[in-house]
Amino acid sequence: MKQELINKLIQQSNAGIKKFAVLIDPDSVKNENDLLKICHECNAANVDLILVGGSLIINGFWERCIDILKEHTSIPVVIFPGNGMQVHDSADAILFLSMISGRNPDLLIGKHVLAAPGLKRSGVEVIPTAYMIVDGGNITSVMYMSNTTPIPNDKNNIAMCTAMAGEMLGLKLIYMDAGSGAKQPISSAMLSEVRKNTVSPIFVGGGIRTVEQAVDACKSGADVVVVGNAIEKNPELISKLSNAIHELNEKIVTL
């Protein structure tokens, strides 16, 4: 199985390099032109990853969305699946999410069994991901659709032990998510606690709307900051967030 992207993420995380990922929900993009606008902004801002996914597939734009992105950018396009139907051969990789914050067996292993043969045939890089939902102050789609209880946002030890267990089970990447449109992002204290006790690359997302929040998340230990909602509303934010995160890397190199 391919391990190109995960190996790069591990290497760069070890070197302290911070990355910015834009999340595109194909159901939220109105038309191909809007998608192309976001794609061009991502190219111009040197965004590191484009994640594609959403809780549902409503408008039938799923496969076309990934194909358009692959035609117009060399940024890796990574599926962040909201359900087992969100697979497409032309993506570079898929986050194979085991929702270890919850106790829904279907999302821990059940859906994976169904998806495995198709994924193997597809040749898409499969990244085993410890997916942790954290309460962001409101009921988000992922909470409702997954039928799971999120980790309470002040229970840093629960988050830390959950992430450690995920690593011990062999999951290669940790994704801490307050859910799309969360009122508040995951706290710096929780991120630091998880960072201190794990070595895998950490993705963080959910409710990040400002440069300050993105930079704080990086300084607290996140390797990749994921932003969806805020950039859908204001695509100009893409370059601001990307520049701010990449500036942190310049500081690392010159230290």
207 touching ligand 1GP, by CB under 6 A: yes
Identity of the residue, 153 or 251, whose beta carbon is nearer to ligand 1GP in the bound complex: 153
Shortest gap between Cβ of 221 and ligand 1GP (angstroms)? 16
Identity of the residue, 144 or 168, whose beta carbon is nearer to ligand 1GP in the bound complex: 144
The residue nearest ligand 1GP at its CB is 205
Segment lying near ligand 1GP (by CB under 6 A), choices 69-77, 158-166, 226-234, 235-243:
226-234
Identity of the residue, 11 or 147, whose beta carbon is nearer to ligand 1GP in the bound complex: 147
φ/ψ of residue 126, rounded to 5: -105, 120
Give me 20's structure tokens: 């910015």
Identity of the residue, 95 or 171, whose beta carbon is nearer to ligand 1GP in the bound complex: 95
Torsion of CA 132, 136, 140, 144, to 10 degrees: 60
Applying CB under 6 A, among 124, 227, 241, 244 the residue interacting with ligand 1GP is 227
Among candidate residues 56, 28, 8, 79, the one with its CA nearest the CA of residue 230: 28
Crossing angle between the packed helical segments 156-168 and 188-197, to the nearest 10 degrees = 30
CA within 13 Å, CB half, 191: 26
Crossing angle between the packed helical segments 188-197 and 211-219, to the nearest 10 degrees = 30
- CB count within 10 Å of CB 2 equals 13
Applying CB under 6 A, among 228, 241, 242, 245 the residue interacting with ligand 1GP is 228
Total chain residues near ligand 1GP (CB under 6 A): 15
Residues of this chain that interact with ligand 1GP (CB under 6 A) are 23, 177, 179-182, 205-208, 226-230
